[in-house]
Chain A
Amino acid sequence: MEITKKMVEKTATKLTAEEILEGKVLSVKWEPKLKYAWDNGPAIGRYLAELKNGKIIAKKCDKCHRIMIPPRMFCELCWVPSGEWVYVKDTGIVNTWIIGHVDWKAKRLDIKGGVRPITLSIIEIDGASKGMGILHHLGEVDPWKIHRGMKVKAVWKPPEERTGSITDIKYFKPVK
């Protein structure tokens, strides 16, 4: 049996967001205000403490010898507890990136009005195993000149402003 236009046209009724928001159809609104406190565990806990010191730390798997960042208590590939802590560099290369013209809620940024596009990137950290990337922003660079393999270095917040967060690194900037 074919699914025809006649069959589907009565299954759903088209509305616009305006009709809902302007009250032309009745709706109930609710804004969740949920609160959570997430523990970070021993691996990410140490990672954050080291970021506060201006250092990036990884953890090694003694079986596959990967130097893993973010550090983790077990290697998800070998399925064994991870081994020693290893400091890695605060430099790396751009694996891939975007030039975002909307924010995280899909709201348009005023790019024409001078707002800088969001240049989020995966950065392969020097000293970690090949391909081991972390998510972070790029800065001090023309978004349209970013390229794969570009060498970058962390720009840290001043020590007194660091809180033990991934944002203790403000962004990564290009270096020669």
Chain B
Amino acid sequence: MANMKEIHSRMKSIKDIMKITNAMYLISSSKLKKARKSLLATEPYFDKLQETINDILLVAPHMHQIYFERREELEKADRKRGYLVITADKGLCGAYNHNVIKLAEEEMAKGDNNFLFVVGQVGRQYFMRKNVVIDVEFLYTAQNPTMYRAGEMTDIILEMFEKRELDDVYVIYNEMVSPLKAETQIKKLLPLERKKFERRAAGIPHAAFYPSAAQVMDNLVPNYVRGLIYGVLIEAFSSEQNARMTAMETATSSAKDMLRELDLLYNRARQAAITQEITEIASGAKCAQKS
């Protein structure tokens, strides 16, 4: 009998959890719909932005501009690397956070002077526990990205780069390649690289920069970085919702599988208990008849 009770309470707890996973599935699928819409709207901009900046870097003349500073005089070990790591605000989304954190840690193993800007609570908590140097005041949520938030992040990062507190800046995030596949990406934000050799190989002349190359770059680079961060945030957000939706779907279906199995066990235990009871009664009756 105790077995039956145990199975019953186990089934109840699975049912309760299933209610939660199912609700989360519904929530994330509706959030995904919204995120997908903004991703679809922003993707042309994001792609064109990268294409155009590549194009511009191809035709840019030589100039002394801070965002092009490669600081080659620094030893490799002395370089201060900044990483903008984009995680989710919550867990329960499969390997989403784990993948980003893993790649970030692999990258961080390359040098000692690492500085992290973490978006999202999960990554923040993780790196704080690990005692990694992170920007404590870089408090931005991963949810519903806006251009304004991307602009603030850009200001912080560019300022640190200008002050030489950072020498290389990367961004690490999950990209949704297809609804079934997410890929962890790393992109270099700064410094920009002028494609001198490729330009010469292609035989393209320099383009005119108006009013001046330096002035254009002063305006263009913050704009580009902001656009890129915005695009990355949007991409990551919809990837997060997608990951959560898939994870919750799997959780719900595996809960259903478990319930089916437990149901069988429960019925079997019930049957056994009934059979036992009948046998007991029957043998008891037999005994009573004999005497």
Q: Do A and B associate with each other?
A: no
Point out residues on B near A: beta carbons under 8 Å: none
